[in-house]
Amino acid sequence: MCSPSETITPVKVSDCETNYDSSASWTTTLKYVLSAAFLSVSVLEFSLWFPFVLPGLTSAAAKTYIPAFFVYDDEHTKFDNTPWTYNTDYLLTIVMSILAIQCILARSDNDQKNQRSLRLRLYSASLLICYAISTLAGAWAHQHFLSVESLNTSRFRMFWFVCVGNVSFASCYMGLIGREVQRHFGVSGAMHMGPWWFWPAYGCYMSLTCGLGYISFKRPACDIFIAGCTQFPSTFYCLAALGIRKWPQQNSKKVAVGKETSIELVSPMYRAIYYIGFISNAPLLPVYPILVQYTDMTLGGVNTFLHTWLLLAWGMQGISLVHLCKAVSNGERRVGAATEKQQYSGGPALIYSIIMAPLALMATDYARMSFS
């Protein structure tokens, strides 16, 4: 024991340890910066390559996806102006706006729980608002730009950038939703969350390339499908965040009403709606060239069919996100998360494999063409 006259010298962290922590922080940041850059560039390249290698659709894709860089002509440009096209776009705008408001209002009487659900509610609403702005700009363009000459104006380019750019940037909010879903519902440690800026950086890159004309085709509708294809990493991230866990059985444990955790409040039906909603847009990429090249459907009929499909897919995304927001706002914070780590130890490897597999396929194809 020290005498009253003795003083205790505080232990100081050495400069070496401080520098090590700073170096580790910069190393981690650099790793994620390089990862975001690699993922952004490679996924854009993949999205521009993928439509042309789908089995049986090479010829249809070559006739459909003709690069334009916002320069249109009478020979190849097809842009529908019928009421069926722009009215169904307006309908999408209304439905997505209503669902976005419902996400914001998915609150409870408990301010602490509402604060915990705030980011998920904001990100979910932002994703749906992206959809709403995109379809609003698209509807206006289809209704008011009636000639090829009008498509070659800066005014159309601005409207169409808003339309396609919001679909491109939607990956940002999908990734951020995935982080929050992982935080509240995912298995602890099963998925790497990364820094918050990773997905905004990815979304900004896709929107920038859209504005520069790299996602621009003679048929402007093609732009949407390529922009949607760039969403596949964030889509699978959202699916894995909710799917990589063992869910409690509804009747296996009786929990007092009002004491359920957020996980216990998630209904199996809404989980299914979530999965279907996020993955169901994938078939549209091969379906579009089939419809425009191999059927007698009018462009208005094709667009109406596609918009109806989007209404169902995006609607299911919105409905399931409202449910998840309510679960976080009304549920108790989960406990015993450490015991979940044994459920799925291969979570990160699984999601990385799913994302890297198509990119590796593209690289293999490029290599084959280079050496043939």
- Using the predicted structure, report yes or no on whether residue 112 has a pLDDT greater than 90: yes
Phi first, then psi: what are they for 67, rounded to 5°? -55, 145
- Using the predicted structure, report yes or no on whether residue 65 has a pLDDT greater than 70: yes
**Beta-carbon contacts of residue 137 (< 8 Å; ≥ 6 apart):** 159, 160, 162, 163, 166
- CA distances in angstroms from 307 to 80, 85, 134, 260, 262, listed in the order given: 13, 8, 12, 38, 33
| Percent of the chain predicted with pLDDT > 90 | 71
Residue 245 banded pLDDT, cuts 50, 70, 90: confident
Number of other CB atoms surrounding residue 151 within 10 Å: 22
- Least trusted range by pLDDT, from 53-62, 217-226, 355-364: 355-364
- Length of the chain, in residues: 372
Token digits for 195? Answer: 């820094």
Can you tell me whether residue 267 is helix, strand or coil? coil
Phi first, then psi: what are they for 364, rounded to 5°? -65, -40
- Least trusted range by pLDDT, from 29-38, 143-152, 160-169: 29-38
* Cα distance between the two ends of the chain: 81
- Using the predicted structure, report yes or no on whether residue 315 has a pLDDT greater than 60: yes
The pLDDT, as a whole number, for residue 103 is 98
Tens digit of each residue's pLDDT (9 = 90 or more) over 80-90: 999 999 999 99
The pLDDT, as a whole number, for residue 18 is 44
Region 63-89 average pLDDT: 96
pLDDT top residue among 37 and 362? 37
Tens digit of each residue's pLDDT (9 = 90 or more) over 259-306: 788 888 999 999 999 999 999 999 999 999 999 999 999 999 999 999
The pLDDT, as a whole number, for residue 15 is 47
Token digits for 64? Answer: 């459909």
pLDDT top residue among 5 and 287? 287
Q: Report the alpha-carbon distance of residue 289 to residue 53 in Å, rounded.
A: 13
